[in-house]
Every structure is written in structure tokens, then in C-alpha cells.
Structure 1
């Protein structure tokens, strides 16, 4: 294996950082790495908003569910779907692209572009010895987040990424068996999936039991079915459409 692969395989989320900001050079390098990610049809639908203002970071931490590491990190990035640029480009050429922007396909393209950019940034950060954690919690109060960041129509914040110098060494959570996520030639049978999930339930139960000294013993199957028992952020469809996205 090379260093890139070793960095990717060593990933774990960091939720405690040393009180040390990232330098401007590092921030710029990370954003350039994000920009270098693949983008569908050269559309470049992602915009990254860097949060440097302490009060805004603290407000975002509150809106994300009082997650302290949203405020206490080396730098906080918010990744957005952004078709505002494309709308302006169309106006410059006196062209109408409203229906394309509002399509479900465009929403998927923008979401994928943002995710690819964020993962490039994350791998680059970890290669520099930094730690990262994704923050989906900003979608708890997305209108407030959008207003706070001044996002116009056709711009939708999707998630944040906190980056910084680690002040913790959490254990690496075991992933699903590769056979559960990598199917050859066709989707695997229900029986195969059930067998793999039973093995994974036992493995993750052992992980949590050891990590918490027996305070938590549930495995992944138990954990995930409980957390998904009630839909979350059910306002999202209406809000996304109010931003002029995913209407068609």
C-alpha cells in the first residue's frame, strides 16, 4: 500500500481539536483539492463557505444540535449546492435554464459534486495530519443556516466539515463486511445480506462493549434500526423546493 491508501483506510471522525487555527495556506490548499474533484459535465455545482467569524461558528454549532466541535476547530467549511452561478451565467448569455436547475437530476448532480469535493478536502486534510468530522446537523435548521450564510435562491447548504489538529484518538469503527457493499454482477440475495448483517451485529456489539466498558452493547443492526425508526428533518422537501431546487 502507498501513503494515500493508508491515509484513507485510517480514517476516523475527530470531535475534539487543539485550539489552533489552520493557516491561510492550508485552507487554500484544501479548497484547491476540493476543486480538483470530479464534477459532472464540468458543471462545478459546489460552493464552499469558510466560516471564520467566531459568532457565526457558535451559532452554527447551536443550530447543528449544540455540537461544540462545530465552533471549536481549526476551520469550518460548509458545502453547498450552487446553481446561482449557472443562473448568472445564463443571464449573461440571455439564455433560460430554469427548468434544468429545478430538475431532480440537477439536484442529484449538485449533491454528488458537493460530496466529492468534500471527500477530496477531507483526504487532503488527513494526509497533512489533520482530523475531520462531517456535520450533517446543519440540516436540523436549514432555513436559519441559509439565512445566516446569506445563501440566495438556488444555493443550498448540505453539510459542514470541521477540520483541525486532533486532540483525541478515537477507535476506528468497523465497517460493514466488504461482501455486504460490493456485489458482483448482480445484487445479492436477502439471505446473503441477512447472514452478513448477523456477523456485523456481533462484531459491532463487541466493539461498543469494549469501547464503553460495557455501557453500550448494541450492534449496528440494533443501532441503525432504532435511529431510523422515526423520519428526521421532514421539512427538507418543502425547504429544498423553496430554494428553487428539485421541483421537476
Structure 2
């Protein structure tokens, strides 16, 4: 689908070089047009994983809108010569789209997290966005009844679906069932419900702007996170250097 939004090609992935405002506006237009739109955000971890996980790579590349989430990707793309205006963080876009949905009476469906967290998320967003229509919700532990959950979503009347399941499960789930979900827009939001429900604290704004959200997570869960980020960030640095030299070779080859 050609959405008329600028794209860049970075680390083998075409992604939209768009601002938060532009993204929200275009999604609203797609929903009004009833044009099914599959959305994803890419961060450092996802780009690194896509290098070895072909199914995830295919699920991401199948999306109509691919936003840049994470300052690491923004800085990496700029390092390689791309002009990226800003990051479009998934949790911030989630809130923008809920506000837009409440204003336009677009029903939404929330899928993912534990039963307690998804219910707390529903209660919170209904309080934050008066008039928001939550057509339905379901926890993220449904893999033994996957088709039943898909049917529940399709029958709910929701126009937007937000899937809060870990990567790559959410991307692959969306891509597998997109033709049967019955919604106009679907977006994977990862751990957003945990943040909205208050189970997990988001990094302070200064750390977000400095690209240090990963460090905040390491501080919160050092035993589980330090090795993951060390390996991921090291691989990303290698991919950046390779991409930079490839771009230089391409320029020299045209001279």
C-alpha cells in the first residue's frame, strides 16, 4: 500500500521516515477509508533479530507502516546518512491513537499481557480517554485457542486492534491472521500494557531523549537484561559500521 509517506532503507528494511503527527494523521485517514493497515515499530533489538529470524523479517516487511522507535535506530540511521525527523515511540503512538479513536468513535480491542494487566489497562484508558469505546479485550496467553481469540476480535466490531505480546510472537500472529481479524488497523505494542497499568515504570523523559531507555531497563532488571543488551548493542554497532562502509562503496562506485 502506497501511503504517500517518505521512506528510507536502513539495514535491509524499508521504514517510514515520518513524524508522530504525520503517522497519526495517516492512520486516521486509512481507518476512515476502511483500508486495512498493518503497523509495526522497529527498534535496535528487532532490527538485530531480523538479521537471523526470517519469519520475523517477513512479518515486519509485510506491514504497511513501519515506524522508527528507539533513539538507537534514529541515531544509527542518521550516522548512515539518513535524515530522520524524530522517533515514533510505540507507547506514545498508542496513546495518540486512543485519543484519536475516542474523538472519532472508533472502537478498539486490547489483546495481550496477563488477565490482571489487560483489565487494569482497559480501566486506565477508559478513564484517560472519556468516550473511548473498548469493544473487547483478552489476555495474551491464548495459544491453545488462537483461532477462537481471532474470531472474538472479528466479532467485536473493533476498528483498531492493539497487540501487547512479546516480539516476535506479536508480529507473526498479526501477519498470520491479518485477513481474519476484521479490523481496519492493527498494531503490536509490546510491553505497553504493563506500562499503562503501572506494573512497569517507563524511563524518565531525559533518559528517553538520550536514548538510554535500555539502560533504565538494565537498572530495573540487571540479572535478566544486562547480557541481552550487551549482545544486542554490540551486534547493532557491527551492523552500523558495515552499513556505513557499504554506503561509502556505493557512492565511490558512482563517481
Compute the TM-score of the two structures, normalised by the length of structure 1: 0.31
Greater RCO, 1 or 2 (C-alpha within 8 Å, sep 6+): 1
Bigger-Rg structure (1/2) = 1
